[in-house]
Each structure stands twice: as structure tokens, then as C-alpha cells.
Amino acid sequence: MTRKMFDGPSIASSEITPESVWLNRRNLMKAAATGAVAGGLPALALSQPRELAQLAAKKGDCSGCQAEDDLTPYEDATTYNNFYEFGTDKGDPVEHAHEMTVDPWSVEVSGMVNKPGKLNLEDIMSGFDLEERIYRFRCVEAWSMVVPWIGFPLAELLARFEPTADAKYVAFKTLYRRGEMRGTRSFTSVIDWPYREGLRMDEAMHPLTLMTVGLYGKTLPNQSLDKLRLVYRSKYCFTSIKSIVSVELTDRQPRTSWQELAPQEYGFYSNVNPEVDHPRWSQRYERRLPSSLFKPNRIATQKFNGYGEQVAGLYTGMDLAKYY
């Protein structure tokens, strides 16, 4: 099994970035690696609409997508978001997320690892060539979008800390800063902050599991969940924990925020499965953005988000209606 079938094709920097901007970013990344940049990860170079169209036209980089799938417009992908730390309305993140301080940013990895510790984001990124790390795939809830994410497999980050053989699960926690996150101060909030998510170890080490730092050739805007976001391509997008600051490897299955909040609706595994209805709605169809009341863009949901060939083996013998 080659890595390319998971990652999609490498896309040369010159295809998505003007050369002068690309060279400038290269210099900034080198400076970050030596500690010369103190303000966090330098901004990724901007992709232009023409270049995004070229990226969308590439085939074979989205095995879970249908042939006719195009990229979701940037405006739709970055203004219709879930980020309950800033409110429950889809428009709350873009309106209020600028209040969150994102530089500097660090992630602590602890638990069943031989080398526990904390890394600043620029130190993490210095080990990756992001120009070679573009992944185009669908993100599905009741609505869906197709986004060109920029990131790297979670396994590559965990390997730096040397997981032990006893580690069976990975638990994630997000940033919790009441002074900057108005949603956490709301009397209507029912989440026990900080927000938590988890994966089984084989899921975490699978090449489809990504830590993303950008989209559309740009660093993640705050509302799209700066600075680090977990994305597992065959799971529903509500599992994509945002603004990760803590990763713990453990031998016990962690409790996730949605699992604690509504266990009858949200289980630990959360694989895209149109054959199992949510208690309050069918999951056989998704609404692809852009969509409206009078022009609903309704399409059939694919099991495992279309990545069954790659991930179904992880769940062999499991009743996916019971372990939802």
C-alpha cells in the first residue's frame, strides 16, 4: 500500500504560489526553524482563484470524492463553521474568533510515550515541507464541503514522542480560554470545557488521519480553527477537534465531549455511516455547500466518506450500528 493513495499527488509550489512569495515563505520557514521568527508560524502563501481552479481540476487527489466534485468556495468554507467556544450559530466563529490569541502556539504530548514534552508550532512545522502536503477531501456532517487542506499525518507528529506499546488510544483537548472565548462563558453552554475528542491508536496512526494547519493555500483562519485541527477523513466532521493544545496517549478509551453531552446521539467512533440514522434525522444525504432553501445541493452520503477501501479493515467484526 503506497502512501500516495492516501495523500493524493504532490503539488509543486509553483502551481499554487507565485515564485516570489514562495521563496519569501521558504526564508521565513528557515528562520522559524532557527528560532529567528518569534511570532509563530509564518503565513502560508495565498492561492489565487485561477490556481485553486487548477487544483480542483486535478483528478485522483480525492478518493472519497465523486468525479464531479469541485472545491467548496473559500467564502462558504470559512464562514459556515462549528466552533462552540464562540457560540452555537454557524456565523458566530467568523464574527468572534478574532478575539482568540493564536501566537505563540504550542502542543503538549504526554502519557504513554518515551519522550513526553511540548513543542511550539514553528518547531513542529519546521520538520514538514508544506508545499508537498495538500490534501483535497470532503468534510461531512449534515452538511458537507470539499476543501484543499494543508497538513501532515498525525502519525508523523506522534512518532517524535515515541509511543509505547501500551498506548491504545489518543486523547485530545482544545484550547480553553474563557476571557477570549465568549461561548464558554454563555449560560446556555452545556459542554464541559475544554472540548475533548479521541481516537483509537490504529486510527490515529492511519495515514488518513491528519493534523491540518491551513486550507486553500492559507493558514487556518481563526474561525476555521487555528492553529491545529484534527481531521480523520472517514469520520463525521464534528470529530475534528480544533485548536489542539494537548495530546495524551493512554490505555483507556477517552470520553469525548459529544459522547458525554449526548451519548444516545454521538458515539466514540463517529464513522460516516449513511446506513445508521441519527436519532433526529437521516444520514443518508448531506447538503453540500453552497446550498440554500430554494437551491438545496443535496447528495447521497458515502459510507466511510468514500474511503472504505482504506479504512474498513480497522473495523472488521464491529457492529457499526452499536459502535457508532
- Each residue of 163-217: pLDDT tens digit? 999 999 999 999 999 999 999 998 888 899 999 999 999 999 999 999 998 888 7
Whether 138 and 144 have beta carbons less than 8 Å apart is answered as yes
230: CB partners within 8 A, 6+ apart: 154, 172, 197, 209, 210, 211, 212, 239, 240, 241, 242, 244
Nearest-angstrom CA–CA distance, 71 and 136: 8
Region of residue 192 (phi > 0: left; psi between -120 and 50: alpha; otherwise: beta): beta
Nearest-angstrom CA–CA distance, 90 and 46: 25
Average pLDDT over residues 234-259: 95
The backbone torsions φ and ψ at residue 89, rounded to the nearest 5 degrees and listed phi first, read -80, 145
Helix (H) or strand (E) holding 288: strand 285-288
- What is the rounded average pLDDT for all residues in the chain? 79
Sign of the dihedral through C-alpha 238, 287, 291, 310? positive
pTM here is: 0.80
Whether 121 and 40 have beta carbons less than 8 Å apart is answered as yes
Nearest-angstrom CA–CA distance, 305 and 198: 19
Residue percentage of the chain with pLDDT more than 90? 55
Sign of the dihedral through C-alpha 308, 310, 311, 317? positive
Domains annotated for the chain, with CATH where assigned, are: 4-315 (3.90.420.10)
Tell which wins on pLDDT, 311 or 228: 311
Cell numbers standing for residue 95: 464574527
Q: Which amino acid is at 1?
A: M
pLDDT band at residue 236 under the 50/70/90 scheme = very high
The backbone torsions φ and ψ at residue 106, rounded to the nearest 5 degrees and listed phi first, read -140, 160
Q: What angle do CA 305, 205, 311 make, to 5 degrees?
A: 30
Q: Is the pLDDT of residue 131 over 90?
A: no
Tell which wins on pLDDT, 27 or 119: 119
Sign of the dihedral through C-alpha 154, 157, 159, 161? negative
Q: Which amino acid is at 111?
A: G
Nearest-angstrom CA–CA distance, 114 and 180: 34
Whether 121 and 259 have beta carbons less than 8 Å apart is answered as no
pLDDT tens, position by position, 248-272: 999 999 999 999 999 999 999 999 9
Q: How far is CA 214 from CA 47, 194, 264, 324, in A?
A: 11, 23, 33, 29
Q: How far is CA 117 from CA 32, 112, 142, 298, in A?
A: 19, 12, 37, 45
Cβ neighbourhood burial of 252 (10 Å; 0-12, 13-18, 19+): exposed
Cell numbers standing for residue 290: 453552497
